[in-house]
Structure 1
Amino acid sequence: MKLTVTTFVSLDGIMQGPGGPEEDRDGGFDLGGWLVPYVDAGFGEIAGPWFDDADAFLLGRRTYDLMAAHWPHVTDPDDIAATKLNTLPKYVVTSRASGLDWAGAQQLSGNIPQRIRELKEQPGRVLQVHGSSRLIQFLLANELVDELRLLTFPVVVGSGKRLFEPGTLTAAWRLTGVRSTPAGVLGQTYEFAGRPALGNIEIDSDGKEKLVEA
């Protein structure tokens, strides 16, 4: 299975507490709910289809607890997100096995990078990560992410947990798709492309700029 990360980010790269004030107050964060004014029909048209290819989910414990408190109560058969989340396997990276009573949920522990590699080797289409800021940092550090699916909102939050924290492993990403909504939200998909190429801008003998790869 391919591992994808789907997350909401602000223009300045913040991903903390997008959906509400009480979602994540770590570090005294008091700006939760910054995506709400930008949710329109176009938002669902982008985010909804991203669930179509899910065959399993990989979640951090905090995100699991938030989702488990909400999605089991959404029973609309036309809601693709609810249908997928409520019926497919959910692997939760946690040291606590208690409370994993949402249908299909199971603990993932031990050698986490190896366990995730084993999941990726299983038959299927996509192993999806949603939210889970700490888990995303771990996955990026171990080069386990195959694709980023970002919903970027036209707001600058200014502080909070970032998608790419200082010290994130250097990597190149290839843009494979982009859409926008009437409210100004951008849906972007990127494939992992390995290490970035480096270069320099030089002036040639004719006084023209040229790009030179290192």
Structure 2
Amino acid sequence: MRKIIVLEHVSLDGVIQAPGGPDEDISDGFAYGGWSASYSNEIVGTLLRRQMNMPFDLLLGRKTYEIWAPYWPQHAEVWPRANKAIKYVASNTMTSGEWQPSVFLSGDIAEKITQIKQQQGPDLHVWGSGDLIQTLIKHDLVDVFWLMIYPITLGSGKRLFADGTIPAAFKVTESKVAPNGVIAVNYERAGTITTGVSGS
């Protein structure tokens, strides 16, 4: 079975909106686009390149697809695998796009993604796609969260874990802390929550 891996830049208060640039996503008046830029460093860059060079297909929301479709074909030397990967796009309005190969999903998105997970192929990487991620979390479809956590709070914006997040346990399989405070951590799904009484 293919895994769904969510890869996100996230603030301490859980915001994932527009880390890459001022105009990336200004919906709801978000004013801090590009908030991750000043924290670029060699450690995070190396880890990002490793993820970007793994075999994968992409699972994207419509907005992320529309942002990426004109960009990555013009920057193939930076991320050649993105252009070769199948782009599965969750959208009830788009049915085609120029960034190929692309497959557009509508209707019961959770059911269609469940079917895709059961097919043969590389893991499915999810970048951005805040609305789609909420659907994936709600239906327990995320196998791995690969997060870059930044030492900053933003106060508002689209959050990684919003209403509808299910109770779930995870285990850390890898983590690194950059000198500037950015934490790169890999959380893999680890069953249900275990409760008990903490010791004194």
TM-score normalized by structure 1?
Answer: 0.87
Q: Is the 8 A contact 2:95 2:104 kept in 1?
A: no
**Displacement, 1:96?**
2.4
Once residues 58 and 14 of structure 2 are traced to their aligned partners in structure 1, the CA distance between those partners, rounded to angstroms, is: 23
Q: Is the 8 A contact 1:141 1:169 kept in 2?
A: yes
In structure 2, relative to structure 1, the CA distance for the partners of 1:167 and 1:127 (3 Å cut) is closer
After superposition, what is the alpha-carbon deviation per residue over 1:31-52, rounded to whole angstroms, capped at 9, x for unaligned? 1111010112222201111123
- Map of 1:24-173 to 2, 5 A cutoff? 24-76=25-77, 79=78, 82-98=79-95, 100-173=97-170
Moved over 3 A (4+): none
Residue 163 of structure 1 aligns to a residue whose secondary structure is coil
Residue 104 of structure 2 aligns to a residue whose secondary structure is strand
Q: Matched residue pairs, number? A: 199
Once residues 135 and 164 of structure 2 are traced to their aligned partners in structure 1, the CA distance between those partners, rounded to angstroms, is: 12
Residue 190 of structure 1 aligns to a residue whose secondary structure is strand
**Identity percentage of aligned residues:** 38
Q: What are the ranges of 5 or more consecutive residues in structure 1 without an aligned counterpart?
A: 203-208, 210-214
After superposition, what is the alpha-carbon deviation per residue over 1:131-169, rounded to whole angstroms, capped at 9, x for unaligned? 101111110000000110001111111111111113411
Q: Which has the larger radius of gyration?
A: 1
Q: Give the superposed CA RMSD.
A: 1.5
In structure 1, which of residues 185, 188, 193 is the aligned counterpart of residue 185 of structure 2? 188
Letter in 1 for 2:142: V
Q: Is the 8 A contact 2:58 2:85 kept in 1?
A: yes
Letter in 2 for 1:53: M
Once residues 196 and 164 of structure 2 are traced to their aligned partners in structure 1, the CA distance between those partners, rounded to angstroms, is: 21
Once residues 134 and 54 of structure 1 are traced to their aligned partners in structure 2, the CA distance between those partners, rounded to angstroms, is: 24
Higher strand share: 1
Once residues 170 and 135 of structure 1 are traced to their aligned partners in structure 2, the CA distance between those partners, rounded to angstroms, is: 18
Aligned to 1:13: 14
Q: What are the ranges of 5 or more consecutive residues in structure 2 without an aligned counterpart?
A: none
Letter in 1 for 2:141: L
Residue 82 of structure 2 aligns to a residue whose secondary structure is helix
Once residues 190 and 45 of structure 2 are traced to their aligned partners in structure 1, the CA distance between those partners, rounded to angstroms, is: 28
TM-score normalized by structure 2?
Answer: 0.93
Once residues 40 and 96 of structure 2 are traced to their aligned partners in structure 1, the CA distance between those partners, rounded to angstroms, is: 31
